[in-house]
A and B are shown apart, each in its own frame.
Chain A
Amino acid sequence: EPEVTQTPSHQVTQMGQEVILRCVPISNHLYFYWYRQILGQKVEFLVSFYNNEISEKSEIFDDQFSVERPDGSNFTLKIRSTKLEDSAMYFCASTTGTSSAYNEQFFGPGTRLTVL
C-alpha cells in the first residue's frame, strides 16, 4: 500500500542552524501539506502546496520557513534559523485533490525536531 515517508525520523540541531525536513508523498498525489505538533499540544497546520506554489500558510509559517518540491518525488520543509520553540513533531501529508468530494489526507510518520 502506498504511503508517505519522511526523513529523518529524528533531527537534533543547535539553535540558529538551518534544517531541512524531507518527505516523499504518495506518487499520484497533487496537494502537499506540512503540519507540526508540539509535545502535548494539538496538530497545527503550517502550509499547503499545490502546482509548485504555496496555496495557503498559517501565521506560524513565517519568513524562517520555506517549502520546495525540488523534483517529482520529494517535498521539503526548510527552517532557516531554528529556535527552541521550533522543537516539535513535523508531519507531511498528501492527497490527490482531484475530486470535488472529500480527499483523504495521508500522513507520514513524522520527523521529530529537537532544537538545543
Chain B
Amino acid sequence: QKEVEQDPGPLSVPEGAIVSLNCTYSNSAFQYFMWYRQYSRKGPELLMYTYSSGNKEDGRFTAQVDKSSKYISLFIRDSQPSDSATYLCAMSAWSSNTGKLIFGQGTTLQVKP
C-alpha cells in the first residue's frame, strides 16, 4: 500500500464551483498535513497546513483532516480560473532531525471560465 494516495485527475470544473480534493494515507505517524499548489514547471507553494485532526479555513480554502479514517481533504469555494494548477497533498511525521515531506501524486485542476 502506498504511503500517500491521491487521484491525479484531471479534474475540470466551471468557474464558481466548489472543488473537493482528497488524499488517503497509511502511516499513522503523520502529524502534519499540507496542501501545496504547483504550477507547470514551478516549485510547490504551500497553501495550508493542518496539525492532527480538524478543520482549518483560509479565505476560499478549507482543509480537513480525519486521522481516524486517514483521510484529508481540501475544499475550494467559488473556484476561479486562477485556481487552475496541480494540488499536492503532503504529510510529515515531524521530528527534530528530518521533517521530510511525503507527497501524493497531485491532482490537476482546471477551472473553466
Docked-complex contact A102 and B43, CB < 8 angstroms: no
Q: Which residues of A contact B11 (CB under 8 A)?
A: none
CB-based closest 6 A-B pairs: A107-B43, A43-B103, A56-B98, A45-B100, A55-B97, A42-B105
Known: A4-B43, A102-B51, A109-B42. 4 other contacts (CB 8 A): A45-B101, A48-B100, A55-B98, A56-B97
Known: A42-B106, A44-B103, A102-B51. A107 touches B45 (CB 8 A): yes
List residues 16-52 of chain B with CB under 8 A from any CB of chain A. Answer: 32, 36, 41-46, 49, 51
Majority-rule SS of B interface residues? loop
Docked-complex contact A105 and B101, CB < 8 angstroms: yes
Chain A nearest CB, measured from B80 CB (Å): 23
Task: Bits for B87-113, please: 1 = Cβ < 8 Å to A, else 0.
Answer: 010101010011111111110000000
Classify chain B's interface size: 20 to 34
Most buried by A among B46, B97, B100, B104: B100
Docked-complex contact B41 and A110, CB < 8 angstroms: yes
Docked-complex contact A97 and B45, CB < 8 angstroms: no
**Which of B41, B44, B94, B98 contacts A43, CB < 8 Å?**
B44
Q: Which residues of B contact A55 (CB under 8 A)?
A: 97-98
Residue in chain B with minimal CB distance to A47:
B100
Known: A56-B97, A102-B32. A91 touches B103 (CB 8 A): no
Docked-complex contact A41 and B98, CB < 8 angstroms: no
Q: Which residues of A contact B51 (CB under 8 A)?
A: 101-102
Q: Which residues of A contact B100 (CB under 8 A)?
A: 33, 45, 48, 56, 58
Chain A nearest CB, measured from B101 CB (Å): 6
Docked-complex contact B43 and A109, CB < 8 angstroms: yes
Docked-complex contact B98 and A48, CB < 8 angstroms: yes
Q: Which residues of B contact A97 (CB under 8 A)?
A: 99
A45 to B3, CA, bound (A): 13
Task: Bits for A1-43, please: 1 = Cβ < 8 Å to B, else 0.
Answer: 0001000000000000000000000000001010100000111
